[in-house]
Amino acid sequence: MKPLVVWRFRDGKAGHDNQSQGLLDALMALRPVESVARSPLPWPMAFYTGLWRRWTDASPVPDLLIGAGHRTHGSLLAARRACGGRIIVLMRPSLPLGLFDLCLIPEHDTPPNRSNVLATRGALNRIQPSQTLDPGLGLLLIGGPSAHFGWDAAALLRQIAAIVAADPPLSWTLTTSRRTPAEFLEGLRPLADERLQVVPVAETGPDWLPAQLARAGQVWVTADSVSMIYEALTAGAAVGVLATPCRRPSRVSRGLERLAAEGWVTPFADWRPDRMLHRPPGIFNEAARCARWIVERWFA
User: Per-domain residue ranges for the chain?
Assistant: 4-126+287-298, 134-270
Residue 192's pLDDT is 83
> Would 4-126+287-298 and 134-270 be classified into the same CATH topology?
yes
What is the structure's pLDDT at 270?
95
Q: Among candidates 4, 75, 293, which has minimal Cα distance to 89?
A: 75
User: Residue 274 has what pLDDT?
Assistant: 83
CATH of domain 134-270: 3.40.50.1950
Task: Please name the fold of domain 4-126+287-298.
Answer: Rossmann fold (3.40.50)
CA 75, chain centre distance (Å): 23
The pLDDT assigned to 200 comes to: 95
Phi, psi dihedral angles at 180 (to 5 degrees): -70, 125
pLDDT at site 276:
82
**Cα–Cα dist 40/55, whole Å:** 12
Tell me which residues of the chain have a pLDDT lower than 70: 58
What pLDDT does residue 206 have?
87
Distances (CA, A) of 179 to 17, 48, 184, 225, 283: 19, 39, 11, 10, 30
Digit-coded pLDDT (tens) for 31-72: 999 999 999 998 888 888 887 887 877 679 999 999 999 999
Question: What is the full DSSP assignment across the chain?
Answer: -PPEEEEEE--S-HHHHHHHHHHHHHHHTTS-EEEEEEPPPPHHHHHHHHHHT--S---SPPSEEEEESHHHHHHHHHHHHHH--EEEEES--SS-GGGSSEEEEEGGG-----TTEEEESS---S----S--EEEEEEEE-----SSB---HHHHHHHHHHHHHH-TT-EEEEE--TTS-TTHHHHHTTT-BTTEEEE-GGG--TTHHHHHHTTEEEEEEETT-HHHHHHHHHHT-EEEEE---BSS--HHHHHHHHHHHTTSEEEGGG--TTSPPPPPSS---HHHHHHHHHHHHH--
pLDDT of residue 250: 86
**pTM (2 d.p.):** 0.91
* pLDDT 10s digits, 170-200: 999 999 999 999 999 999 988 888 889 999 9
The pLDDT value recorded for residue 58 is 66
Dmax (CA) of the chain: 66
